[in-house]
């Protein structure tokens, strides 16, 4: 039977719009070295590696093989997991399954992207079915914008509601997170006066594209306890990746995949009242709109209650459920790393290592991943091996 | 391939630039081939029906994602439908099919055709977001010269005037 | 209309993925190509722990993960480890019209191989162990083909 | 390790320019694997897909087969790599205690793209790609070095091709069942010395599916379960020049892990048959050495001895191997599927009599940089 598993180390680069002083493998090495240092380990202690990114963003085929130069993977077990925007969270889950299976004790999970090497939106567009959908998809921005137009229509939400999320995340990044890419405080007025890039979303509603890498180290129970006094225990994982055609997934004003993935993760972790039981959340919100429309999917508010929930301020740093102390995806989006950064940031919170962005006393953290055909991954981490 | 200069000093950082150009012969398979043939020959939009839940999917596909049974029956759906969601795309990007900049703006719309239970992605003639809303009724406009290509055989969807 | 699998020919939709990429060389790779471009010099980098000289150089030792900073200037000559003569065409990626020769060269002073083209050579008389030397381009842009190819070294 | 079994397998017929789309192929094998196991989709509680964005010409290529692989309603992940690694992922998901039954689906359509361009993208864009390296000519560099170092002859490599194409005649799924002679191989068109057309695997379309289950689930089905006794995977370093291309250390390490787990100390004696990833004829000889079926450099003598022929003491690639059908990603999964058929005694004309323990092997990247080895037992 499987065994308890925890996160024992987290490392990430200082994300930027471009990092020309590193090639991709050197970028990975920075994150890996920081993760190893944070756990007091060396690369010799790593039993297996999982890596992920998107092939066409850097045009590298078989990245698992290429990436070994980023962690001296010579004579190590390595494999690659790629599921679109959910790649980072899927890599994290794969790291968890590696360790939980008992086949490997200490497992390194790596997500990375050097988006500055190509035209990210063009590469994203190629994820559409090439005969039916590719020509009219406006990239991830277009999908999110379409979804929010449907949400606005159904629940009367506004562009300003989405701007509030953008302001929250951008300000958190600016004030608290030295690793974030965009570190400038903005106001709702700033967001609303930025130009539309895909109606109803404006430039400052959206995430940037970033260069960066993240590494998270998972360990089985026995090893985890030896490595640190306070690991981040993985209590729950959930994942829902449905649909082949975007047409089947987008024209729905919520995020059914997130609802399903969080339900599975809550069940596994024993969470019955997510709003009360979760202390902090690191959510893959690629646009401010998602921070409004998807709140109900995790059970944080009632259906259509997103705007009211955000306006109440409970998700601010001093609120009852702080969301994205790191500044989230709207401040940093190195796509293949993004989902793993959410897991890493959530782990830092429950390990009490989140420094200036620490939510005091955080014990239970939620991390999500989003991508592909509007897919979701959910991870629940806890400072203890089980909920009280 | 060529190299690009970043800075003209001793710590000058270089990069390798290249156009990666990979042609693909995407294979439509059986279901989508039928769909494209009907568009071309009969200006007709085909869906496929799940024998279990009776849902109609456009474009046709081999399996019902919910029931995991093979679809067995093609059914024509209407050329009219409802816009379920939309966006007017104005962010510049490269069209990966050509390597050239994508022509902007365009309206990406998710349309539920009458008689279908799924949404198809296509473009609207209208590109002014103030004149588009979810729930709006639209009709397919077919190209006179059709080649069996979904993107061009249906030229776009046009707003159906009220009344 | 019922589904009759295999009833029609599949439609083939010809398209492509055509995108421009700009891969960063980083500090180490930039220095390697600057030296090649500006001074026709080939540099390797040595792992102080493994005592192995790598070419092309890289920041981290591929075997022990040490950060490497010990640059070693290598000669323009070396020994052929292995080779092949490519006799089939692949559109757009081949540096020369086939047939052309590829080899991996053990540069003097390095412990690893350096893959490159072989030129000024009788394609039927290449052999493992032969001595070769780098021929540089007259006009160099900071990429691998600043070395035109390796040719047999005069005895 | 808890006992995990393979309880269902299915393959498409492998062919060039298959009329089916990716999802149609994936659905065909997913459905056939379920039917073969006597299961319905409700019995599957998670899936793993194996797809590749370059081969498919699509970012997030797993999306293509999400519905068709039954992944829309259960947790799924996508291993972008050989099918053997997909099975490893499926296995770990079950061993974690969170799942009972995993459906693994791998597919690829080599005929959609241009393999030379797609495999060129395996190489480092900074230092290698500009040389026009691809899957074939990099293998030729490896073959030349390996053959020269150990005195392996082109005839010995040709014999692998003759054997495997002949074996393919007994495999209804194979793409290239051929009656050829060593002379035919030697006289076939030179691609990149020393690799000739008949030393190389074809361009193929195809899909393969495998169902894994924990022991408690195997009681529900009538088919004889085939047990996963050992697994190991390992990678060499990346730059071609940094590797000793004649070395098989990564395979030795992967095999050792799998053998240790399975309790195998004398592989040639204890293993009944092997399905290995022979993308090129010389590879089968090299992999034999790495798997410990003979000593280093003994691959040539091994094929000469006839031991690896059908009827020999260790038949290798009774299916015809990858030389007879090479649907990238699905190819390694097909090695597992074929091994399962052998251990169930359902391999038809290619059945190895009395097969009890089988080895299935997949590779990853250029020149076998990565390897994954499975030991299976009836």
pLDDT tens digits along A284-334: 999 999 999 999 999 999 999 999 999 999 999 999 999 999 999 999 999
Q: Chain B: nearest CA to A120, how far in angstroms?
A: 8
Phi then psi for residue D120, to 5 deg, are -60, -35
Measure CB to CB from residue C142 to each of B3, B31, B72 and give the nearest one: B3
The pLDDT of B127-146, averaged and rounded, is 95
| DSSP of B83-101 | EEEEEEE----B-TTTSSB
Query: What are the domain boundaries of chain B?
Result: 26-159
Residue D140 domain-assigned?
no
Range of the domain at A305: 5-120+206-382
* CB–CB contact D63 A373 (8 Å): yes
| DSSP of A247-269 | HHHSSSSS-HHHHHHHHHHHHHH
- Looking at residue D1, what is its pLDDT? 67
Stronger pLDDT, C77 or C1, i.e. the higher one: C77
Q: Chains with ≥3 Cβ pairs under 8 A against C? A: A, B, D
Q: Which chain D residues in 13-52 lie under 8 Å from chain B, judged by CB atoms?
A: 18-24, 27, 31, 41
Report chain D's mean pLDDT, rounded to a whole number.
97
CATH code of the domain containing A291: 3.40.47.10
- Looking at residue B163, what is its pLDDT? 58
- Looking at residue A333, what is its pLDDT? 97
Q: Which chain C residues in 90-119 lie under 8 Å from chain D, judged by CB atoms?
A: 90-96, 100, 102-104, 112-117
Return the CA Rg of chain D. Answer: 19
Query: What are the domain boundaries of chain C?
Result: 26-152
Q: Residue D287: pLDDT above 60?
A: yes
Strand partners, D10: D209
Nearest one of D324, D294, D322, D327 to D308, comparing CA atoms: D294
The rounded percent of chain D whose pLDDT value lies above 90 is 97
Q: Chain A: nearest CA to B74, how far in angstroms?
A: 17
The pLDDT of B49-66, averaged and rounded, is 96
* CB–CB contact D68 B63 (8 Å): yes
List pLDDT tens digits, range A83-121.
999 999 999 999 999 999 999 999 999 999 999 999 888
Q: Residue B4: pLDDT above 50?
A: no
Range of the domain at D70: 4-113+203-218
Judged by a CB distance cut-off of 8 A, whether residue D50 touches chain A is no
Q: Residue A345: pLDDT above 70?
A: yes
Q: Residue B6: pLDDT above 50?
A: no
* CB–CB contact D95 A23 (8 Å): no
- Looking at residue D322, what is its pLDDT? 98
Q: Residue A238: pLDDT above 80?
A: yes
Please, which pLDDT band fits residue A123 given cuts at 50, 70 and 90? confident
Measure CB to CB from residue B61 to each of D23, D41, D126 and give the nearest one: D23
Q: Residue A20: pLDDT above 90?
A: yes
| Contact residues of C toward A, CB < 8 A | 11, 13, 15, 17, 19-29, 58-65
Question: CA separation (Å) from C107 to A201, C53, C118, D207, D371?
Answer: 56, 10, 14, 44, 29
* CB–CB contact B17 C22 (8 Å): yes
Report chain A's mean pLDDT, rounded to a whole number.
95
- A272 exposure class (CB count in 10 Å sphere: 0-12, 13-18, 19+): exposed
Helix axes A87-100, D83-95, angle to 10 degrees: 60
Instruction: Flag the least confident range among A117-126, A178-187, C74-83, D152-161.
Output: A117-126
- Looking at residue A140, what is its pLDDT? 80
ipTM of the complex: 0.96
Measured between beta carbons, the chain D residues lying within 8 angstroms of A98 are: 92
Nearest one of A2, A246, A28 to D99, comparing CA atoms: A2
List pLDDT tens digits, range D100-117.
999 999 999 999 999 999
- Looking at residue C8, what is its pLDDT? 67
* CB–CB contact C95 D132 (8 Å): yes
The rounded percent of chain A whose pLDDT value lies above 90 is 88
- Looking at residue A1, what is its pLDDT? 54
List pLDDT tens digits, range B90-130.
888 989 888 899 999 999 999 999 999 999 999 999 999 99
* B123, containing H or E segment: strand B120-124
- Between chain A and chain D, how many beta carbons pairs sit less than 8 Å apart? 194
Please, which pLDDT band fits residue C7 given cuts at 50, 70 and 90? low
- Looking at residue C6, what is its pLDDT? 61
Please, which pLDDT band fits residue C155 given cuts at 50, 70 and 90? low
Residue D71 domain-assigned?
yes
- Looking at residue D343, what is its pLDDT? 98
The total of structural domains in chain A comes to: 1
Token pair of A32 as six digits: 């890996």
Token pair of A331 as six digits: 């401040």
* CB–CB contact B59 A245 (8 Å): yes
Return the residue matching tokens 């130069």.
A69
Q: Which chain D residues in 53-82 lie under 8 Å from chain A, judged by CB atoms?
A: 53-54, 57-60, 62-68, 71-73, 75-81
- Looking at residue D46, what is its pLDDT? 98
* CB–CB contact A81 D58 (8 Å): no
- Looking at residue B7, what is its pLDDT? 42
The total of structural domains in chain D comes to: 1
The pLDDT of A181-197, averaged and rounded, is 97
Please, which pLDDT band fits residue B8 given cuts at 50, 70 and 90? very low
- Looking at residue B5, what is its pLDDT? 45
- Looking at residue B43, what is its pLDDT? 96
Q: Residue C5: pLDDT above 80?
A: no
Nearest one of A91, A18, A15 to A53, comparing CA atoms: A91
Report the 10 Å Cβ neighbour count for B105.
Answer: 18
List pLDDT tens digits, range C37-70.
999 999 999 999 999 999 999 999 999 999 999 9
Token pair of A72 as six digits: 């001296």
List pLDDT tens digits, range D167-185.
999 999 999 999 999 999 9
* B9, containing H or E segment: none
List pLDDT tens digits, range D295-306.
999 999 999 999
The pLDDT of A231-254, averaged and rounded, is 89
What one-character DSSP code corresponds to residue D362?
A: E
Q: Chain A: nearest CA to C120, how far in angstroms?
A: 32
- Looking at residue B3, what is its pLDDT? 45
| DSSP of A185-241 | ---HHHHHHSPEEETTEEGGGB----EEEEEEEEEEHHHHHHH-SS-EEEEEEEEE-
CATH code of the domain containing D45: 3.40.47.10
The rounded percent of chain D whose pLDDT value lies above 70 is 100
């Amino acid at each position: 039977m499987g065994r308890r598993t925890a996160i024992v180390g987290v490392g990430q680069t200082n994300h930027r719009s471009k990092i020309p002083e590193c090639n991709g493998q050197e970028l990975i090495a920075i994150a890996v070295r920081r993760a190893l240092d944070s756990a007091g380990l060396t690369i010799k202690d790593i039993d297996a590696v999982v890596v992920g990114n998107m092939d066409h963003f850097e045009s590298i085929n078989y990245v698992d093989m290429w990436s070994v130069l980023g962690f001296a993977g010579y004579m190590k077990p390595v494999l690659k997991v790629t599921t679109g925007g959910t790649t980072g969270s899927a890599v994290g889950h794969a790291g968890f399954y590696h360790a939980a299976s008992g086949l490997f004790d200490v497992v390194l999970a790596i997500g990375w992207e050097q988006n500055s090497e190509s035209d990210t939106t063009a590469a994203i567009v190629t994820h559409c079915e090439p005969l039916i959908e590719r020509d009219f998809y406006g990239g991830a921005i277009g999908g999110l914008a379409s979804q929010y137009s449907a949400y606005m229509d159904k629940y009367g939400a506004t562009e300003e509601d989405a701007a509030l999320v953008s302001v929250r995340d951008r300000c958190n990044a600016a004030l608290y997170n030295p690793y974030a890419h965009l570190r400038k405080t903005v106001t709702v007025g700033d967001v609303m006066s930025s130009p539309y890039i895909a109606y109803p979303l404006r430039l400052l509603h959206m995430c940037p594209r970033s260069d960066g890498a993240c590494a998270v180290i998972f360990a089985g129970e026995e090893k985890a306890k030896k490595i640190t006094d306070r690991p981040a225990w993985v209590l729950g994982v959930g994942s829902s990746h449905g649909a082949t055609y975007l047409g089947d997934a987008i024209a729905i004003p919520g995020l059914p995949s997130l609802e399903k993935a969080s339900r599975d993760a809550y069940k596994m972790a024993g969470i019955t009242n997510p709003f009360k039981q979760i202390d902090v959340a690191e959510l893959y919100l690629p646009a401010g709109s998602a921070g409004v429309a998807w709140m109900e999917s995790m059970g944080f508010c009632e259906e259509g209650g997103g705007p009211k929930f955000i306006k109440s301020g409970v998700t601010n740093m001093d609120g009852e459920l702080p969301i994205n102390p790191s500044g989230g995806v709207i401040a940093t989006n190195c796509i293949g790393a993004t989902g793993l950064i959410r897991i890493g940031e959530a782990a830092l919170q429950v390990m009490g290592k989140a420094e200036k962005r620490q939510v005091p006393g955080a014990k239970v953290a939620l991390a999500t991943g989003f991508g592909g055909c509007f897919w979701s991954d959910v991870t629940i981490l806890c400072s203890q091996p089980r909920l009280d | 391939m060529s190299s690009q200069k970043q800075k003209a000093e001793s710590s000058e950082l270089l990069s390798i630039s290249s156009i990666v150009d990979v042609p693909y012969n995407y294979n439509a398979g059986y279901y989508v081939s039928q769909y494209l043939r009907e568009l071309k020959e009969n200006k007709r939009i085909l869906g496929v029906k799940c024998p279990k839940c009776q849902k109609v999917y456009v474009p046709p596909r081999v399996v019902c994602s919910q029931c995991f049974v093979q679809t067995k029956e093609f059914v024509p759906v209407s050329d009219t439908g409802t816009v379920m969601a939309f966006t007017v795309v104005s962010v510049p990007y490269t069209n990966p099919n050509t390597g050239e900049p994508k022509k902007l703006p365009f309206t990406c719309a998710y349309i539920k055709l009458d008689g279908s239970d799924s949404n198809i992605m296509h473009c609207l003639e209208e590109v002014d977001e103030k004149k588009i809303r979810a729930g709006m009724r639209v009709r397919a406009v077919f190209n006179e010269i059709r080649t069996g290509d979904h993107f061009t055989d249906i030229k776009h969807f046009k707003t159906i005037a009220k009344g | 209309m019922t589904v009759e699998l295999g009833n029609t020919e599949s439609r083939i939709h010809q398209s492509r993925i055509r995108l421009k990429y700009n891969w960063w060389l980083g500090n180490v790779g930039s220095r390697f190509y600057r030296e090649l471009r500006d001074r026709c010099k080939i540099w390797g980098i040595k792992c102080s722990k493994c005592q192995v000289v790598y070419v092309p150089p890289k920041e981290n030792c591929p075997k022990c993960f040490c950060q490497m900073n010990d640059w070693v200037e290598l000669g323009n000559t070396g020994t052929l480890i292995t080779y092949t003569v490519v006799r089939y065409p692949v559109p757009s990626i081949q540096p020369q019209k086939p047939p052309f020769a590829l080899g991996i060269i053990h540069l003097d002073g390095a412990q690893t191989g350096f893959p490159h083209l072989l030129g000024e050579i009788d394609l039927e008389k290449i052999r493992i162990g032969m001595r070769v030397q780098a021929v540089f381009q007259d006009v160099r842009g900071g990429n691998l083909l600043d070395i035109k190819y390796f040719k047999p070294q005069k005895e | 390790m808890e006992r995990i079994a393979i309880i269902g397998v299915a393959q498409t017929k492998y062919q060039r320019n298959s009329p089916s789309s990716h999802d149609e192929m994936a659905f065909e094998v997913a459905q056939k694997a379920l039917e073969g196991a006597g299961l319905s989709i409700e019995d599957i509680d998670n899936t793993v897909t194996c797809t590749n964005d370059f081969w498919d010409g699509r970012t997030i290529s797993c999306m293509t087969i999400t519905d068709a692989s039954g992944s829309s309603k259960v947790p799924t992940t996508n291993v972008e790599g050989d099918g053997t690694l997909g099975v490893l992922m499926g296995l770990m998901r079950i061993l974690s205690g969170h799942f009972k039954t995993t459906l693994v689906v791998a597919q690829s359509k080599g005929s959609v793209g241009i393999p030379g361009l797609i495999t060129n993208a395996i190489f480092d864009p900074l230092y290698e790609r500009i040389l026009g390296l691809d899957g074939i000519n990099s293998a030729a560099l490896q073959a030349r070095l390996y053959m020269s170092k150990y005195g392996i002859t082109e005839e010995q490599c040709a014999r692998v091709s003759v054997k495997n194409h002949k074996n393919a005649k007994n495999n209804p799924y194979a793409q290239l069942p051929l009656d050829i002679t060593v002379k035919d191989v030697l006289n076939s068109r030179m691609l990149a010395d020393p690799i000739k057309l008949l030393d190389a695997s074809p361009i193929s379309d195809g899909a393969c599916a495998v169902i894994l289950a924990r022991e408690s689930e195997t009681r529900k089905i009538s088919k004889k379960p085939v047990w996963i006794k050992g697994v190991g995977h390992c990678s060499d370093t990346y730059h071609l020049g940094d590797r000793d291309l004649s070395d098989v250390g990564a395979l030795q390490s992967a095999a050792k892990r799998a053998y240790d787990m399975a309790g195998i100390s004398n592989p040639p004696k204890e293993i009944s048959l092997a399905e290995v990833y022979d993308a090129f004829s010389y590879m089968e000889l090299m992999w034999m050495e790495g798997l410990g079926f003979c000593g280093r450099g003994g691959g040539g003598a091994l094929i000469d001895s006839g031991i690896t022929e059908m009827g020999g003491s260790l038949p290798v690639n009774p299916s015809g191997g990858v030389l007879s059908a090479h649907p990238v990603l699905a190819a390694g999964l097909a090695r597992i599927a074929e091994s399962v058929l052998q251990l169930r005694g359902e391999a038809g004309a290619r059945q190895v009599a009395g097969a009890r323990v089988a080895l299935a092997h997949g590779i990853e990247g250029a020149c076998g940089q990565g390897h994954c080895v499975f030991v299976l037992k009836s």
